[in-house]
Structure 1
């Protein structure tokens, strides 16, 4: 008869046998003595039982860091034997060993040791044998990821590597993964995946490995991204990324469904007074209160958002990756393309960027990717043409709303929309300067391309001018709060340059003279705000700022003259139609000296954002730890 998997602890209490073995191994049982011998029989039994994740974690969590060091002989033997079982590849002990390693390392690495690097090495391998044991460990994981007996086991190896890389990111462990190149194994695993959801852990792991000390030494994983050209693997990654974006976006929608009401069978029948024929509606889902929604939104995006770091690194290094992201079609009929999914998620991230520092950091990654894409002339050309037309669900969870556009449109028009939304929905006294500087820079890059190419995309341009000029008003109102913020001068210069460029070059990309007139009309409406803005931010020497002030002053003089001659009573209030006529007539006497170089911008340089990217990496590491519940 097979032994029972339960061990009697008391008359009424039973526990799984494997938990009893955990307690024996780490001497937390009161009836254990210090000289217990861990025989071959003990280890055979240990790797026969399926791991109890909660039970093992509970045992390890009860051990203080100093005690863990005291028990290092047993922890080292556990580590060596689990590695050996994993490498042997015999079912089911190889899989059990991998699961055991995941839980053990996650708990052991997260303890607050006095000397983290040396103490962790002592717990796992001992200082004298560290290099040999750790090399064996990484080699075992490499072998399983590349040649494991099946995809589920290889996926478990990927997830184990992801878990321990995250847990040990700031200690000594990740260096062993950079000493041995796991890139070919990860790519081989991704190539063999039949289910796109299985790609995510490997791609996520790649992002962590690429970012390990990448500003301190030549990271081999970053170098690998530069010349990787396997189209099939890149396609698998991007399809998986798109599906992850949809999942992350849907988490926002689950808090507040913002889909505008459309025509359905029920609404159509009700319209014609035939509501009794309409199908029965499903019970309404309870709607969270405003406070509940605020709390739920603050937890988003979900931990899978860490894949944005991997996407950024690949996009920054590899033009093939960028082209595939922009050009990839939907994976199935009725689905959305990866680019559409990414833009949709970005829209939701932007509207909620202010809710937490973590959310803001993830928006930077989206902004970096967008900037990299629009700086590539072949890609921005595609995104501004009908070749890129796509339908994107944009966030409408907070007012003000942009006009709802149904059907397909260019990717460039979608990007402008989501950036305007970000500008409108994150106005705070403690402004996120990085967010606004990056957003304005992307707009300038898009407009300079449109102007040079004389490309005219269909877009509600008046919304862009209204948002930018409202931003001027906001900055003028809260100047004392804004000026003290780091890099605020860069943001202010970006704003004035963008609007001055639009004034000087708008006729090259705006669809018709009426749209160009509207830009001047919006500027005139701003009144004396521009002068207040110039004085508040000390921009008297800025040619861009002076261009805006001069244009405004030119038309104000014409309007005052028209008002003074409007009738015997001294008419001063002109109708919108009259103002528009003055604007058209004013072109004849208007001279715009916008200054040279407005259309110039510097290409993205990762080193300029080193501090931000290091903070992003730390957030992604924490989110990688948060994924462990899904892995178990």
Structure 2
């Protein structure tokens, strides 16, 4: 008689898996045909969708495989779209998840637009089926439960991002989802998902906007609801602040004063780094690799911010004015802060450079407008700002609240100082120097004397001119290099000719002349290196000023023994004003206003980068949230009021 197994002995019975996974494997077989039974599809969508398992199954198929299995994919898509109208919220939620993964994986293949349509619905049914799909998404976002509204929002964002380079996105452009996205931002129940709604709005408004009519651009331009704008601004500020923390986590650049606690902390950190150095030979390389992976994916919100700022002047004002009651750093202060980190590290990757430049475009747009520029120098809009100090030389640390324009200038100085290399990013430098020129021009027109460390700005500009002079062999043939040099010289000429109108006092003006005298023959060498005509040119004006003071110094040296001290040079500068004649150059404070068409190629590139980042954020489940109870203080028309956002 055979011995029976003891009931106490453990018997391996194989691993159990959710039934829906079994249905996935049953359905997605190369030889399978789509089930016609309604019962199968009811069971398919009533079971909780397993997004990761479905994604793995679909990823294993090649583009050719999916073309052969198009009848299965079509059945899943069309049955899923029908299920979006079901009265059972569980079926609707599972259908949203299933459709999101199906569309994402199909569009991830190397398909043309027509092949995508063939796989999902068929060329003869695409208009009806996809219109029904988009209509269902809009209806759920508008009238569904909170969970379903958010699920539909994410499904829409994923589908739009995945279809960005196909004709399918036109269904979302034609449907005009602006109102329902604004409703999600406005409603207290869903306002914590402002990030997703605003990013989706940014992606839609950016699509093909320079080649064809985009209704979202018109809706952005006409929008006037301040309460919704404030919620968007709070989301932008929070996202920027969190993105900045990723930089600080790699290298803490805090500039707090000395204390016992800070000394102990520094010693502990030193010990930790010493231990790490023993285990890892090149910590600097590790830090560089970590910086190269930044900014975080949430930086995709910068594209939407840029679109809204360009389209709507009122939003620009709300962006600057909005203050959170609980924080010293305003949302726009956080934006400037992140911009300073982006600009100092922009050389690390093309993606980094794209986000740095899009942040700088916002600064340019804001300073070009006289109304927003006045707010940038307004006492009511001041903010504390943690600006990047991760690369030497650092700017002086300023504690407490500052004018917003000071933070912008600091960020621009960081861009000028820390990106000098033989493969010079000329468009970035043209934008940085041009924005500095616009700021000074506006300060001159507004007659605002700014107490600012101007010496650091002149030091950076002269250092940049020294670099381009020394590297002329490598830079001479680069496109738009003459434009960059001319723009840089124009900044200095404007400062010399109109310094009394924006510099805080005589000491700042004297320092500007001192910096010029220190350069010696630099400007003459620059003129020769780049074949710049001295007559009737900006560089000729600077050379004339330099020669004027060099002659005075030579005359003084003849009557004094030894080397002239800095005090003697300062006296010469002051006395030399009487005999100095700076020829007024007409239009030295003139600049062309920003036009998107001038940035066509760049905007397409950064638009695609933002779409890819939004798509990856969804795939990783890393979407940030804004706390609904955030309170803001507004100062419209000089009055402050507190309100819930």
TM-score (ref. length: structure 2)? 0.90
Report the Cα distance in structure 1 between the residues aligned to 2:24 and 2:525, rounded to whole angstroms.
71
Kept in 2, the 8 Å contact 1:242–1:337? The answer is yes
1:476/1:536 contact within 8 Å kept: yes
Distance 2:543 2:37 in 1: 85
1:40: which partner in 2? 38
Whole-Å separation in 2 of the counterparts to 1:259 and 1:530 = 37
Residue matched to 2:558? 564
User: Which residue, 601, 608, 624 being the options, matches 2:591?
Assistant: 601
Q: Identify the range of structure 1 (48-57 vs 596-605) with the bigger mean alpha-carbon deviation.
A: 48-57
Show the counterpart of 1:580. Answer: 570
Residue 81 of structure 1: aligned partner: 79
**What is the CA distance between 1:98 and its match in structure 2?**
0.7
1:552 alignment partner in structure 2: 546
CA–CA distance in structure 2, aligned partners of residues 396 and 36 of structure 1: 60
Aligned pairs for 1:101-250 within 5 A: 101-113=99-111, 116-150=112-146, 152-194=147-189, 197-250=192-245
Counterparts in 2 of 1:20 and 1:267: CA distance versus 1, 3 Å: closer
Q: Pick one of 402, 409, 416 that aligns with 1:409.
A: 402
Q: Which residue of structure 1 aligns with residue 370 of structure 2?
A: 377
1:98 match: 96
Q: Distance in 1 between matches of 2:476 and 2:48?
A: 60
Structure 1 position 197, deviation (Å): 4.1
Contact (CA 8 Å) 1:346, 1:418: kept in 2 or not? yes
Secondary structure, aligned partner of 1:88: coil
Distance 1:185 1:124 in 2: 26
Give the CA RMSD over aligned residues: 2.1
Distance 1:129 1:466 in 2: 65
> Which residue in the other structure is 2:413 paired with?
420
Partner of 2:511: 518
The Cα offsets for residues 510-562 of structure 1, whole Å up to 9 and x where unpaired, read as: 11112101100000000101001111122215621111111011111111121
Q: Distance in 1 between matches of 2:575 and 2:258?
A: 46
User: CA-to-partner distance for each residue in 1:479-514, whole Å, 9 max, x for gaps?
Assistant: 122222222222111101111100100011111112
CA offset digits 1:99-141 (Å, max 9, x no partner): 111111111111012xx11111111111111100010011011
1:308 matched to 2:302: yes
Report how far residue 335 of structure 1 moved. Answer: 5.3
SS in 2 for 1:87: coil
Shift, 1:13, TM fit: 4.1
Following TM superposition, by how much is the alpha carbon of 1:266 offset from its aligned partner in structure 2, in angstroms? Answer: 3.5
Cα distance per residue 1:562-603 (max 9 Å; x no partner): 112224xxx4x2110111111111111111014110111111
Question: Cα gap change, 1:176/1:518 in structure 2, threshold over 3 Å: closer, same or farther?
Answer: same
Q: Report the 3-state secondary structure (helix = DSSP H, G, I; strand = E; otherwise coil) of the residue aligned with 2:500.
A: helix
Structure 2: how far apart are the matches of 1:246 and 1:124?
40
Alignment of structure 1 residues 218-617 onto 2, 5 Å? 218-262=213-257, 266=261, 289-330=283-324, 332-334=325-327, 336-540=329-533, 541=535, 543-567=537-561, 571=562, 573-617=563-607
Which residue is equivalent to 1:59? 57
Which secondary structure does the structure 1 equivalent of 2:443 belong to? helix
Q: Is the 8 A contact 1:178 1:209 kept in 2?
A: yes
Counterparts of 1:545 and 1:510 in 2: how far apart (Å)? 22
What is the CA–CA distance in structure 1 between the aligned matches of 2:113 and 2:86, rounded to whole Å? 29
Q: Contact conserved, 2:330 with 2:384, CA < 8 A, in 1?
A: no
Which residue pairs with 2:639 in the alignment?
A: none
Contact 1:544–1:594 (8 Å) recurs in 2: no
> RCO greater where, 1 or 2, for CA within 8 Å and sep 6 or more?
2
Whole-angstrom CA distance in 1 between matches of 2:404 and 2:157: 34
CA contact (8 A) 2:150 2:190 kept: no
Q: CA deviation at 1:183?
A: 0.8
Distance in 1 (alpha carbons) for counterparts of 2:190 and 2:252: 29
Shift of 1:287: 7.0
**Mapped contact 2:100–2:155 kept (Cα < 8 A):** yes
Q: CA deviation at 1:193?
A: 4.2
The Cα of 1:90 is off from its aligned counterpart by 2.2
Say if 1:51 and 1:99, in contact at 8 Å, map to a contact too: yes
- Equivalent position of 2:630 in the other structure: none
* Distance change in 2, residues 1:582/1:352 (3 Å): same
Match of 1:3 in 2: none
CA contact (8 A) 1:196 1:239 kept: no
Deviation at 1:35, TM superposition (A): 4.7
Query: 1:15 maps to what in 2?
Result: 17
SS at match of 1:409: coil
How far the C-alpha of 1:388 sits from its partner, in A, is 2.2
Structure 1 segments, 4+ long, off by >3 Å, are: 33-38, 193-197, 261-268, 280-288, 629-632
Deviation per CA, 1:281-300: give whole Å up to 9, x if none. Answer: 99969979211110010010
Cα contact 2:80–2:96 (8 A) shared by 1:
yes
Q: Distance in 2 between matches of 1:109 and 1:542?
A: 58
Matches of 1:623 and 1:589, distance apart in 2: 59
Q: Which range is displaced more, 313-322 or 159-168? A: 159-168
Name the counterpart of 1:26: 28
Displacement of 1:163:
1.0
| SS of corresponding position for 2:232 | helix
Structure 1 alignment gaps of length 5 or more: 1-9
Deviation at 1:630, TM superposition (A): 4.0
* Alpha-carbon contact 1:501-1:594 (below 8 Å) kept: no
Segments of 5+ residues of structure 2 without an aligned counterpart are: 1-11, 278-282, 623-645
After superposition, the Cα gap between the structure-2 partners of 1:281 and 1:446, relative to the gap in structure 1 and judged at 3 Å, is: closer
1: distance between equivalents of 2:35 and 2:96?
Answer: 24
Distance in 2, Cα, partners of 1:603 & 1:229: 24
Measured after TM superposition, the shift of residue 453 of structure 1 is 2.1
Q: TM-score scaled to structure 1, two decimals?
A: 0.92
Aligned length, in residue pairs: 602
For 1:181 and 1:555, the matched residues in 2 are separated by 64
